[in-house]
Chains A and B, each alone.
Chain A
Amino acid sequence: MTFIASVIAKKGVAIIADSFVTSELPTLYRSDFNRFLATKIDGEGHDNINFSKEDIFELFQYQRSHTKDFEEKLIRFDKYTAITTTGAAAINNKRISDLVGDFLKQHEEEQLNALPIQEKVNLLCDFVTQEIITQLQNHEEISTCLFVFTHFDASDNSTKIYVARVKRTTEDALVEEGYEFINVTTEPDFKKVVTYGQTKTAEKILYGSLINFMTSGLPSLIRRINESLGKPCDEYTDEFIMQYTQKDEAIRQMIQDELELFKLSELSLQQAVNLASLLMKLEVDFQTYTENIPTVGGVIKLAVIDKDGFKFISGHEIQKPKNI
């Protein structure tokens, strides 16, 4: 797993990434399988057990298997652009940092610097798409992978963040006309802190818990209450409940009070660096107190981009071993 973040300041941006690589495997425990079988037995003393492909899918849950260090997840792209990455660690048997390195070998930095950020994103996406196609032609599937472009514009001190999402794909996509292997979006301007990967702790701090409950748990809770009262209502769709609660002033005020993200405007670059480090530390340290396999950690790379361009702050040099 991964934790990557970009924290936007008044005159620059701080970017941080961990270096752990955690493999996950679809896993089925015997006890779960026994429970599943019990629900599928036909009840007439026969040995027949009927289940569908969907049933098989539902049986397996992704479980963390093991963690390795070290993966480059924060990469200098050009003078004012950094790439952070999460998801699949390799495409076409090339580590993501090597893939970006291969792209950069084919492009002069001066030329890249002169291009608008959107064009840079498109160029890299075209390059990665070719690698994806090669991998699929070798009958290997593609796992989801994100390239997060953080670009600082020194002319107006603004930061723009693009996210290129490689879709999970099989070779079947090769024969689909117009199939988009990569989907590109921009982050909304209100997001002064952009996090990807394992971001539960950071998001709770930045957005609070209520908004998550409102968009995830509330609609089904209301439906269940109505059903238990014997008043099921088909009109209570997620959209209907969301629209209704979104208009409620008391709920809006509670959400607003919890949104620490809005109180983060106008950070100095030093504050952005400190905040990025704090969010990383929370994710890394908190995992050590839980029963889960640690999935965020290792060497933490931290960089800034300001009027002088991209600069590593820490994690980019070999350190003297501790206690030796």
Chain B
Amino acid sequence: MPLKKDQKSMAKIEQQKGDLVDQVIDYMAQKKESTRRGQEEEKSFFIKKLDRITKGKEIIITNCNA
């Protein structure tokens, strides 16, 4: 049975809402992955730094976080 016009537009709105929920979930999952990668990057950065210290290379440390 064909949908009436207002039923069709309601279905379309519901579909759009559903699509947006998917987009937001994907976005949040990507953000979480990006945070995890950032932590890995930080760890690898720290270990590289320790390597340079143990090899006696000169290091200048900057502390300038906003």
Contact = CB atoms under 8 A, between A and B. Distances in A.
Answer whether A and B are interacting partners.
Answer: yes
Interface of A: 1-2, 21-25, 53-54, 56-57, 71, 73, 85-90, 138-141, 143-144, 167-170, 172, 188, 190-191, 207, 211-212, 214-216, 242, 246, 252, 255-256, 259, 261-262
B41 to A, nearest CB: 6
A262 B62 CA distance: 41
A224 B42 CA distance: 27
Nearest to A141: B62
Interface of B: 17-18, 20-25, 27-29, 31-32, 38, 41-43, 45-52, 58-66
Contacts of B22: 246
A contacts with B: majority SS: mixed
A256 B21 contact: yes
Nearest to B52: A170
A166 to B, nearest CB: 12
Nearest to A58: B43
Nearest to B18: A252
A23 B65 contact: yes
Contacts of A256: 17-18, 21
B59 to A, nearest CB: 7
Chain B CB count within 10 A is highest, among A56, A86, A190, A261, for A190
Nearest to B38: A144
B63 A57 contact: no
Given A167-B41, A170-B49, A212 B62 contact: no
Given A23-B65, A141-B62, A170-B52, 18 more contacts: A2-B66, A23-B64, A53-B46, A53-B51, A54-B43, A85-B66, A88-B66, A90-B64, A141-B60, A172-B48, A190-B23, A190-B24, A191-B27, A207-B24, A211-B24, A214-B28, A259-B24, A262-B20
A212 B62 CA distance: 33
A261 B66 contact: no
Nearest to A71: B66
Contact of B25 (A24, A89, A215): A215
Given A139-B58, A141-B61, A1 B66 contact: yes
A213 B7 CA distance: 34
Given A22-B65, A256-B17, A256-B21, A139 B28 contact: no
A87 B64 CA distance: 9
Contact of B24 (A53, A143, A167, A261): A261
Given A54-B47, A170-B49, A252-B21, A212 B66 contact: no
A138 B29 CA distance: 38
A23 B63 contact: yes
B10 to A, nearest CB: 15
Nearest to B28: A215
A7 B63 CA distance: 31
A56 B50 contact: yes
Contacts of A90: 64
Nearest to A245: B25
Contacts of B21: 252, 255-256, 259
Nearest to A62: B65
Chain A CB count within 10 A is highest, among B25, B38, B41, for B25
A64 B64 CA distance: 12
